[in-house]
Amino acid sequence: MSVDDVVAELRDGMTVGIGGWGSRRKPMALVTAIAKSSLKDLTVVSYGGPDVGMLCATGKVRKAVYGFVSLDSIALDPHFRKARQAGEIEVSEFDEGALQWGLYAAALRLPFLPTRAGLGSDVMSLNPELKTVTSPYHDGEDGEDAEELLAMPAIHLDVALVHMNRADRYGNTQYLGPDIYFDDLYCLAADKRYVSCERVVETSELAAGGPPQSLKINRMMVDGVIEAPGGAGFTSCVPDYGRDEAAQKAYAGGDLFVEASR
């Protein structure tokens, strides 16, 4: 598929999960195309970076669901910060663990998963819709009360967008950097899954190109592959390239990408 093909599949009001982590391996070619489109009222789910900031700045976001929004080497994305402080978007603010568990619950087709993440923090007060559960297996014979756990609801996605180092044309993919982040969970939690990649290769190259654990997203989890060299830039996509700090600084200052995408 092409980037434009993917954007044509999206609709106003969708819940869109965006992979990567902060300013690392974000599917920026796809994000920039959405920013330039007429789409609106999106719910964006992300361990956020410039994907969230750019889409907020261009008026695409109705609600953001996140564990953080950071540019890594720049602590806060200023475009997200502006939208958040001005009350221009709805938000669900979770910690990293609770967001992971929400995606995992959706991946497992469960309504929720119990977790300790978020308990004793403002995650509970800022998300008053969250509920707690106690273990049905605790019989109380030890004299202790059953532990109360957060029932983290599933975060179901209409669409997941992720970027990988390599993919074949069938949708088998490979990351070559230090971490999958939670891109596999995004794909498993979504109805439609689109993967941009630095290079489309033969399937045999994937097997020879890295260890088995680098092949966590397979063709059963992907609906479309987009060859997009440099498609994560200005964020990093190691080992293919690092973060373009000059471009990120320009983005943070409003001189790059945001203005170009209006």
Query: What is the residue-averaged pLDDT of the chain?
Result: 93
Closest CA to 165 of 153, 179, 152: 179
Q: What is the per-residue pLDDT across 139-190, written as a single tens digit (0 to 9) for each? A: 666 657 788 999 999 999 999 999 999 999 999 999 999 999 999 999 999 9
User: The pTM is what?
Assistant: 0.94
Q: Which domains does the chain have, with CATH numbers?
A: 3-95+155-252 (3.40.1080.10), 112-153 (no CATH)
pLDDT (mean) for 245-253: 94
Q: What is the pLDDT of residue 257?
A: 54
**Using one digit for the tens of pLDDT, what is the confidence trace for 44-53?**
999 999 999 9
* Distances in whole angstroms, Cα of residue 172 to Cα of each of 47, 193, 224: 23, 12, 10
> Could you tell me what percent of the chain has a pLDDT over 90?
87
State the alpha helices, DSSP H only, in the chain.
3-9, 28-36, 50-57, 78-85, 96-107, 122-126, 183-188, 203-208, 245-252
User: Residue 81 in contact with residue 104, Cβ under 8 Å?
Assistant: no
Quote the pLDDT of residue 143: 59
Q: Are 251 and 257 in contact (CB under 8 A)?
A: yes
